[in-house]
Every structure is written in structure tokens, then in C-alpha cells.
Amino acid sequence: MNAPAFNENLHLLNGNHAVAWGVRLAKPDVAPLYPITPQTPILEKLIDFQSKNEFDAELLTPESEHSAMAAAIAASATGARVFTATSSQGLLLMHELLHYASGARTPMVLFNVNRTPGAPWGFWPDQIDSLSQRDTGWIQFYSENPQESLDTVIQAFRISEAANLPVMINHDAFYVSHSIEPVNLPSAEVVDGFLPRIPREFQLGDDSGRSLGAPLDQAGWNLTRQDMDVAMQGVERLTAAAGGDWAKLTGRPAAPLELYRCEDAEVVFVTMGSMCGNAREAVDRLRENGIAAGLLKVRLFRPLPAEALREALAGVPCAIVLDRNYSPGTGGVLHQELKAVLFGIETPPRLHGMLAGVGGVNVPVETIEKLAAEYRNAAPSAQPIWVE
């Protein structure tokens, strides 16, 4: 993303504090929070805002992320706007309830800081924590930088409340969570206007006497998933609309996918999160050296924008997926997803799956440049390739 134009709303914030600002502006009613490195600065900043009377959500500090998510679901079901944040072990501890939240169609925003899960213990940027939750029915965004994290938090509340589906936004540990950049803070009026309160069709404690989540028969359960499918299919459009409106208000676009210099590209990198920064730089250098490279950034990962991905990659001779995650037994998750999406199209790219940056190892611009040189004319292998 281009450096924001200088103005008085520009603040130097790290990624996590940018998230906290987004949350403060979105004004959730309830926020259950549990600390974990490297998410903790989000929690700390929100508690700091609250202690200065700048943020008046009901803050809950339960004994675990599991209970944080349980409280979040119950609060959302009772009509509250809800935010929570976690990382790695905490997200994985929530797993049972992630399914519950989407099944109960409870809107909420969860911010996850992508971190390696143990064992062995590590605190490093790696996206397998959230990618392994891809089947839980959550909308998933991956953010590249602090500004995008703030903007996505605000847009996510609108998307979540329109789709009645929970949203998980992810940014990489340290590379984004702790790196300080100039961030433009939108005004409270802009955010209030962007995020009106929509009355719920049903909430616990209304006078309908209806219950939520009671057991039902096979056909009924099946229908809940068909309903969810319809809702999921509307998310890409909601994301584009929210991003379009946000761009009108702030000048910052936010689409499900971002294409950078992909016109006439002979090789396109496909990746998510902080990796996009170095990949963009590599694209510029490759183009300077006469290699027509491009970058396809996947911002919305669930639901996967399948048609848009096909359109972006059809006819491109070669695509190199940079996966900062490793799914044992298959390879990179984004690589798998792209293989599925591109299967059967007429002119698919040669698709290379790179395990780049697993465990948080740095992937310098030069490494990405070299991948283009080495693989752009090579036949793809079925096995993933570990990038040194």
C-alpha cells in the first residue's frame, strides 16, 4: 500500500495499536479478552483507552480464550456488537467454539495475530494457526500493514453484521503487530456513519421467547449449512462494497484481491499478509530487470474469491505461491486452495508452491527475485518446495 499522504490525522502506531484504535472507533458493546504474545498490546491498549474513559465496552477478562469466545458468542447472540483478539494457542483453544459461532450466526470481529503453534514453542510469524481454522465458517482477512489492519477492523464489523457471520482478521506477528508505521485515524463521525447499528432479526431476551442452538434433525441441520453457504457467497460482494464505501470516505481502497503490476505479467506471485511488502518490492526490481512480474495479494481468504482468482490468473504463464505456513502432508495452504480454484480452467498458469517463511524466517526481496528467475520457466512439481 502506498504511504499515506501527510495530514494531522496521521499517527505513528504499531499494528496492534492500530487494531485497538479501529476497535475503539467501531465501539463494540462487549469485549472479552485474554492475553497472549504477540496479541497482548491490543488488549493493553483497549484497557488503557477504557481506563481513560475513551472506550466504554463491557470488558471481560475470563480465565481462557475458550471462555472469551464463549462469552463473545453469548453476548453477540444477545444483540451486542462484540470484539475479541487472540493468537496461535489461544485461537486453537477456541476451535470448538469457532464452529459454534458461525453455526449460531453470531456476528463479531476477532483479531488474530498469526504466530507459530507449539511444539516447539515459538513466537514467530506463521499463518498455520488461522489457516487451520479455515473450515470453521469464519470470514478470514489477511492484512499487510497497520493501516490496513485498522481499516479492515472497521469494515469487518459492517461485513459481519450484514452477513451474520463472524470475521477473523489476521496480521503477522511482529512484522505487522509490532512494527510502527504512520497510520491515518479516521474521525469518529466517519466511522459512526459507516457503521450504523442494524437491529437484529432475533436476539436472546427479545420478547419472542425463542431459543438459539437447540438440537434439530438432520434435514434441519443440513439447511443451516445451506443458509450459511448463501451468506458466504454474499461476502465477496459485501467486502467489495464496504471497501468501495471506505475508499470514498478515506481514499484508501480495500478489495478482496489486490493486483499489483499484473498486466501482461509472465510471472505472478500470490501471497497474503506481510509477505506482500517484500513481494511488491521484488516485482518492481524484476520489472526493472526486464522480467514482467506481478503480485496478486489475497486479502479475503474465506470465502475464497474463486472467480476473481481465476480471472486474475487465467492466461498468466506462471504463478508462484508464497506460503508462510505448512500443512503437513500436503504443503502450503494457499497453494492447495489455488490448485483447486484453477483446476479445469482453459489456460491455467504453471503453479509453483513455495514454503517461504515458515516459522517466521525472513524472506528477503532478493530471495523472492531469485524464485522468479529459477521457476518462471520450470515445470511445476507436485511437492511443495522449501525456500531456504
Partner 1 sequence: MEKIDYRDEGRFCSGHVACAGCAEAISMRVILNAVGEDTVGVIVPSCTAVILGGYPMSSTKTSFIHGTLESAGAFASGVKRALRAQGRDDTTVLCLAGDGGTYDIGLQSLSSAAERNEDILYICFDNEGYMNTGGQKSSSTPHKAATGSTPLGKPTRKKNMIEILAAHRIPYIATTSPSHLSDMAAKVKKAKSIRGTKVIFVLIPCLPGWGVAENAAVKTARLGVEAGVFPLIEVEGGVKYSLTVDQKTRRIDDYLGEQKRYNHLSDEDRRELQEEVDDTWARLLARAEAGE
Which residues are at the interface with partner 1 (CB under 8 A)? 29-30, 32, 57-58, 60-64, 66-68, 70-80, 82, 96-97, 100, 104, 204-206, 208-217, 220
User: What is the rounded CA–CA span in Å between residue 169 and residue 379?
Assistant: 35
CB of 48 or CB of 58, closer to partner 1: 58
Q: Which is nearer to partner 1, 56 or 374 (CB)?
A: 56
Nearer to partner 1, 217 or 264 (CB): 217
Q: Show the DSSP H helices in 234-320 as ranges.
A: 235-250, 275-288, 306-313
Residue 28 cell numbers, joined? 463494540
By beta-carbon proximity to partner 1, the closer residue of 75 and 91 is: 75
CA-CA distance, 182 to 146, in Å (whole number)?
8
In whole angstroms, the minimum distance from the beta carbon of 153 to partner 1 comes to: 19
330-335 long-range contacts (CB < 8 A, ≥24 apart) are 330/384, 331/355, 331/383, 331/384, 332/384, 333/127, 333/128, 333/131, 333/132, 333/134, 334/131, 334/270, 334/271, 334/272, 334/298, 334/301, 335/384
Q: Smaller CB distance to partner 1: residue 61 or 233? A: 61
The nearest distance, CB 189 to partner 1, in angstroms, is 22
Q: Smallest distance, Å, CB 208 to partner 1?
A: 7
Q: Phi and psi for 371 in degrees, rounded to 5?
A: -60, -40
The CB-of-159 to partner 1 minimum distance in angstroms stands at 21
Q: What distance separates the 2 farthest-apart alpha carbons in the chain?
A: 68
Measured from the CB atom, the residue of 79 and 317 that comes closer to partner 1 is: 79
Nearer to partner 1, 27 or 252 (CB): 27
Nearest-approach distance from CB 24 to partner 1, in angstroms:
15
Which residue carries 463494540 as its cell? 28
Q: Which residues pair with 321 in a beta bridge?
A: 270, 353
Give the nearest distance from C-beta 74 to partner 1 in angstroms: 3
Quick one: 333 exposed, middle or buried, by C-beta within 10 A (0-12, 13-18, 19+)?
buried
Closest separation in Å from C-beta 192 to partner 1? 17
Rounded to a whole number of angstroms, the minimum distance from the CB of residue 214 to partner 1 is 4
Residue placing its CB nearer to partner 1 in the complex, 1 or 70:
70
Alpha carbon 294 to chain centroid distance?
21
Q: Pick from 370, 186, 192: which is nearest to 291 by CA? A: 370
Q: Which CB atom, from 209 or from 344, has the smaller least distance to partner 1?
A: 209
DSSP letters for 364-382: -HHHHHHHHHHHTTSPPPS
Q: Residue 302: beta bridge partners?
A: 140
Cβ atoms 54, 33 nearer than 8 A: no
- Measured from the CB of residue 106, what is the shortest distance to partner 1 in angstroms? 10
What is the length of the chain? 388
The CA angle 295-22-172, to the nearest 5 degrees, is: 40
Nearest to 273 by CA among 336, 358, 349: 358
